[in-house]
Amino acid sequence: MAFLTIFTAPKPFTNPHINVIQRNALSAWTRLPDVEVIVIGDEPGIPEAAAEFGVKNVREVERDEKGIPLVSAVMEIGHRFSDSPMLCYANGDMILMSDAVEAARQVAAQVKDFLLVGQRWNLDLAEPFDFSGDWEARLRAEVSKRGEFYSPWGIDYFIFPRHLYTEVPDFTIGRPAWDNWMVYYARTKIGMAIDASRQVVAVHQNHDYSHLPGNKPPYGSEVAKSNLIKAGGRRCVYNILDTNRELVRGRVRRPQVRLVRWLRRLERLFVNDKAHGWAWEISLRLRRLQAPLESIPRR
What is the model's pLDDT at position 117?
Answer: 98
Q: Which of 262, 226, 223, 225 is nearest to 242 (CA)?
A: 262
Check: CB of residue 155 under 8 Å from CB of residue 176: no
Nearest to 96 by CA among 175, 164, 194, 5: 5
pTM of the model: 0.95
Q: How many CB atoms lie within 10 A of CB 74?
A: 22
Query: What are the phi and psi torsion angles at 240 (to 5°)?
Result: -65, -20
pLDDT for 271: 95
pLDDT of 40: 98
Report how far residue 160's alpha carbon sits from residue 75's, in angstroms, rounded to the nearest whole number.
11
Helical packing angle, 259-270 and 278-294, nearest 10°: 160
Question: Taking the CB of residue 114, how many other CB atoms lie within 10 A of it?
Answer: 24
In the chain, % helix, strand, coil (3-state, to 5) comes to 40, 20, 45
> What's residue 298's pLDDT?
79
CATH superfamily label, 4-253 = Spore Coat Polysaccharide Biosynthesis Protein SpsA; Chain A (3.90.550.10)
Q: Does residue 193 contact residue 261 with C-beta atoms inside 8 Å? A: no
H helical segments located in the chain? 16-29, 46-53, 71-80, 98-108, 135-146, 178-185, 222-231, 259-270, 278-294
Low-confidence ranges of the chain (pLDDT < 70): 209-220
Closest CA to 13 of 127, 93, 122, 124: 93
Give the Å distances, CA to CA, from 183 to 154, 180, 231. Answer: 12, 5, 11
Instruction: Quick: pLDDT tens for 130-146.
Output: 999 999 999 999 999 99
Q: Are 282 and 270 in contact (CB under 8 A)?
A: yes
List, by residue range, all CATH 3.90.550.10 domains of the chain: 4-253
Beta bridge pairs of residue 13: none
SS3 sequence of 64-115: CCCCCEEHHHHHHHHHHCCCCCEEEEECCCEECCHHHHHHHHHHHCCCCCCE
